[in-house]
Structure 1
Amino acid sequence: MWLSEGEFHRTGIDGKFWTVRCKPCKNAHAHGTTVKELLALQGSDSPECGSCRRSGVRLMIDHDHACCPSVKSCGQCVRGYLCHECNTSEGLLKTPERALSLAGYMTRIAVAKTQASPARAIEPGGATGIMRLRVLPAAGELATNSAAIIFSGVSSAENQCG
């Protein structure tokens, strides 16, 4: 498969030359890995965010900064692809415990909003990752739907209910 020129970096004086590696391969190489290895890590056939599963967005290579504090990594601590929003969130939260704590907080707020309007419930968006509101047939159903929010992998930018 041939890639467009836009998939390569210009180099040399006045940008007369093209790099031999496409942008995704060059980025993976800088982290001591390959695109094929990253896809195998994530169990995917095409690049997508390992958290929210979005594709077609700019993806960063996630690695353990405790192992390699610089921008590049050794290749042993690479964890996969993350989109900008998920990568930034993961970097700021630092631990799974803080991420789960924030997810719990966001869930409590979302549940409180739906309880103010008992005819609505939050439902994970499935393949799209976008949460949706729907009418509840019974009040007890809210508890089962709210637990799914924690693990839906939706970034706060996409979580627009209302």
Structure 2
Amino acid sequence: MNNPISIRRCKVCPAGSKRPAPHPGPRCSTHHREALRSRRSNAHGRMVTRTYGIGPNAYMAILAAQNGTCAICQRATGATKRLAVDHDHTCCPGKTSCGKCVRAIICQPCNVGVLGHLRDDVEALKRAIAVIQDRPAQAVIMGLDE
């Protein structure tokens, strides 16, 4: 005698739904993605609180005050990779922050490539601005043409 194979149904979908639930829970693919998104968001909130001393609401408020973009380049939105919390490393020793030294929410290239590479050196940032605005190489090039 053959036993019919029981098909699991999603526990979140309305009763009577015929959507299969191949994912743990049991959940359909749509509700499985929602559950994963929620778990990731909660984990990020816990990490921000534990590491930087600010809650997930503060993270979202800072990001909203920055119009949802990186504070430096204003291009990155965190849609692909979540934006990082930038803080002053000289304020708090160790791996955690007090929350008072949080400066902004920035993207990975700005965090590592700009601030990290220049090691928060204000004078180096001023020199970078001068290079962009004044184009010092042009004076050298013009001197060669004479």
> In the superposition, relative to structure 1, how do residues 59 and 41 fare at CA in structure 2: closer, same or farther (>3 Å)?
closer
Aligned equivalent of 2:14: none
Determine if the alignment matches structure 1 residue 5 to structure 2 residue 36: yes
Instruction: Tell me the equivalent position of 1:28.
Output: 48
5+ residue gaps, structure 2: 1-32
Task: Please state how far the C-alpha of 1:40 moved relative to its aligned partner.
Answer: 3.5
Question: With structure 2 as the length reference, what TM-score do the two structures score?
Answer: 0.54
Single out whichever of 103-112 and 50-59 deviates more from structure 2: 103-112
Greater per-residue strand proportion: 1
The reply to whether residue 70 of structure 1 matches residue 94 of structure 2 is yes
Q: Quick check: 2:72–2:110 contact (8 Å CA) kept in 1?
A: yes
- Structure 1 residue 83: Cα displacement: 0.5
* SS of residue matched to 2:106: strand
* C-alpha RMSD of matched pairs (Å): 3.1
Largest Rg, 1 or 2: 2
Distance in 2 (alpha carbons) for counterparts of 1:58 and 1:41 = 14
Structure 1 residue 32, shift from structure 2 partner: 0.8
Q: Give the aligned residue type for 2:39.
A: F
Q: Aligned in 2, Cα 1:34/1:45: closer, same or farther, shift over 3 Å?
A: farther
Deviation at 1:111, TM superposition (A): 8.2
Aligned sequence identity (%): 25
- Contact 1:63 / 1:78 at 8 angstroms: preserved in 2? yes
Give the Cα–Cα distance (whole angstroms) in 1 for the partners of residues 135 and 54 of structure 2: 40
| Alpha-carbon separation, structure 2, partners of 1:110 and 1:3 | 53
Identify, as 1 or 2, the structure richer in helix.
2
2:123 is aligned to: 97
Instruction: Give, in angstroms, the shift of residue 64 of structure 1.
Output: 0.6
- Compute the TM-score of the two structures, normalised by the length of structure 1: 0.49
- Indicate if the aligned counterparts of 2:46 and 2:56 stay in contact, CA closer than 8 A: no
1:76: how far off?
A: 1.4
Q: How many residues align?
A: 101
Aligned to 1:8, the other structure's residue is in SS state: helix
Counterpart residue type for residue 60 of structure 1: A
